[in-house]
Structure 1
Amino acid sequence: MPWELRDGEPVIAPALVRALLNEQHPDLAHLPLGEPVRGWDNTMVRLGGRLALRLPRHARAEALLDREVAWLPRLASQLANPPSGTAGRAHPANPAIPTPARTGLPRAGYPFRWAVVPWVDGTPAVHVPLEVRDAYAPSLAAILRGLHQPAPTDAPASAFRGVGLADIEDRFAQRWEALVGDLGRERRDQLAEVWRRAVDAVPFSGPRVWLHGDPHPNNTVLPGVGPGPGPMPGSPVLVDFGDLCAGDPASDLGSALLHFSPTGRGAFVTAYDAGRVPDPALWARAQGWAVNYALIFAAQSPGEALRPLGRDLLA
């Protein structure tokens, strides 16, 4: 579980955070600190009203943070300054990219590089009711349309996202075998058919586009919205770009489909496709990715925020 310490993982306490700030960013050291909150890869500590520290929990998370630091400024610049003649063609609004504000080095007994990032005040979408998530389906579609723009040739690739489904078929089979016994016969056959159609669909032929990499509801913040019933949200904000890469947008879309009820998924697809040439193969692949992510989420430990989403889709 992400809130449990892994073997050898550094303990991130307020005193350590103060020491890092005092040594490397003393002008920020006076700001109040929030309680450390552990995610799967990083611990977040709120810093004042507008900032947070993003502190990797393990070496792979440090590499993902390095990717954000290196690439998010370039991505933000590209989306803010599209090539001549392309502005607004794919979508009228570009997404906000939470570019790291500062970086830090291993010091004070903490072994990894870290960053100061913008704080997005709100509630992760995974903690709000389904009808609230359905309400932002067109907004999330707009954000992903704005993000899914051609990436430069040196943009990072991933072995797990934005690739052909054949590339993850072995891992999918392992996850499927681990959970298939929990499914009824009819539902098992339905999901197997979704996966088969996805694998058989016309493959992505490029150009590679920018991908968030992990736009699930726990990486989607609803500003000004609290958990439980309440006002409908405005535009959501995607956070945690550690899996930023370029490739087939179907993997992002598959993750996004898990936000919504069937009605919300329909609204999401309609909004994403507005003004585009219909591409049934894209959505066939996206549905396969949705099943893949549902298996991943459903296999998480009880208490994990994303586990119910995976279980609900598989049921």
Structure 2
Amino acid sequence: MGRNLWDAEWEVTEPLVQQLLNLQFPRLASLPIREIGNGWDNTVYRVGDEYVFRFPRRQVAVDLLRTEARILPKLAGYITVPYAKPLFFGKESTHYPAPFLGYSYIPGKFPIGISDDARVQSAAALAKFLKNLHVFPVEVAQQEGILFDQRNLTDLAGRKERMLDFLSRFNLYITQEELDEIANYLQGITLERVEHRQVLLHGDLHFKNMLVDDSGILAGIIDWGDVNIGHPACDLSIAYSYLPPASRQAFYEIYGEVDDETKILARMIAVYIPMLLFMQAVDDKDEAIAEEAKSIIQRALAD
């Protein structure tokens, strides 16, 4: 059986985490630890009440983590929502082949199954967050090693082809009507490429990298491993994936108006990312994440 793109190259177990803390951060060694999640690139552990540690699970994540460690401290004057600040900088060793980071813990939960009303109440905070992030000086980001659009975000034609190919994996899990809705949406996109833009991006802004409080209101943004310089549509996809249609205009009134090409690309990414999350959730047999990903696709397609 072939490997999936999200398969781990390194398994990060609780005994390994305990060993690494004992060796590199002995003052944390007595704190309780527990695994709280696996992303595409990192395994995440809670350490005590105050900290969370991210450990790369694939080689491709190593340079991303190093870059994140350099850029995040410089964002303090720009970020308007809570975000995890790196406090502990673990080094690769004979016990584990990659660097790892420990951050301040942000309380909250993933926004799974929350109401439209709660989503609307976070629209202004999301718009203000992205407006400020996207004016961070690109030249400073470059000096810290942030890469330019390494994922070729502006290639709509290539992304469309990949998304249509994904649908062949969906037919066992969603209805024909749902399949047709996605396929018809994709076939209706005639734009093949948008002009390059250069702003600092979070780069992976979706529900598994967001936290909300018990009321469903935005409480924090996490996982900056894909921070890069590129087209703002990458982050603006959140206006389609997270927000109900009726609140999108209010979002843009705060963020600032954008052109139609940007909105087309933003909506496309808002459909593309949950397609990936859905396929990973199916492989992991995670029904809650799969259902949330399906609902995101439906929300992103809604006008």
TM-score, normalised with respect to structure 2: 0.79
Matched, 1:148 2:134: yes
Say which SS state the counterpart of residue 204 (structure 2) adopts. coil
Query: Which residue matches 1:199?
Result: 192
Conserved 8 A contact 1:161-1:251: no
Query: Which residue matches 1:159?
Result: 150
Query: Which residue matches 2:165?
Result: 174
Structure 1: where are the runs of 5+ without partners? 81-92
How far off its partner does 1:146 sit? Answer: 1.3
**Cα distance between partner residues in 1 of 2:222 and 2:37:** 15
Change (3 A) 1:142 1:306: farther
**Cα distance between partner residues in 1 of 2:287 and 2:154:** 26
How far off its partner does 1:292 sit? Answer: 2.1
Query: Which residue matches 1:123?
Result: 109
Query: Which residue matches 2:36?
Result: 37
**Cα distance between partner residues in 1 of 2:90 and 2:297:** 42
Change (3 A) 1:162 1:104: same
Conserved 8 A contact 1:183-1:314: no
Change (3 A) 1:264 1:297: farther
How far off its partner does 1:209 sit? Answer: 0.4
Query: Which residue matches 1:283?
Result: 263
Change (3 A) 1:143 1:304: farther
How far off its partner does 1:305 sit? Answer: 4.7
**Cα distance between partner residues in 1 of 2:175 and 2:259:** 33
How far off its partner does 1:313 sit? Answer: 4.7
Say which SS state the counterpart of residue 64 (structure 2) adopts. helix
- Percent identity among equivalent residues? 24
How far off its partner does 1:290 sit? Answer: 1.9
Query: Which residue matches 1:212?
Result: 202
Matched, 1:12 2:21: no
How far off its partner does 1:284 sit? Answer: 2.1
How far off its partner does 1:182 sit? Answer: 4.6
Matched, 1:268 2:268: no
Q: Deviations over 1:174-202 (max 9, x none)?
A: 22454479543862464125533x536xx
**Cα distance between partner residues in 2 of 1:161 and 1:252:** 14
Match of 1:156, as an amino acid? L
Say which SS state the counterpart of residue 116 (structure 1) adopts. strand
Change (3 A) 1:127 1:103: farther
Match of 1:10, as an amino acid? E
Matched, 1:187 2:181: yes
Change (3 A) 1:94 1:204: farther
**Cα distance between partner residues in 1 of 2:130 and 2:286:** 29
Q: Deviations over 1:246-295 (max 9, x none)?
A: 1001121124421132224444334323xx5x522221221222232243
Say which SS state the counterpart of residue 101 (structure 1) adopts. strand
Q: Deviations over 1:74-110 (max 9, x none)?
A: 4x16x45xxxxxxxxxxxx745553311211234622
Change (3 A) 1:8 1:204: closer
The residue correspondences of 1:223-242 to structure 2 (distance < 5 A) are: 225-226=213-214, 231=215, 233=217, 235-242=218-225
Conserved 8 A contact 1:164-1:204: no
Change (3 A) 1:305 1:248: farther
Conserved 8 A contact 1:161-1:213: no
Change (3 A) 1:183 1:299: farther
**Cα distance between partner residues in 2 of 1:251 and 1:124:** 20
Q: How many residues align?
A: 281
Say which SS state the counterpart of residue 32 (structure 2) adopts. coil
How far off its partner does 1:205 sit? Answer: 4.3
Conserved 8 A contact 1:56-1:62: yes
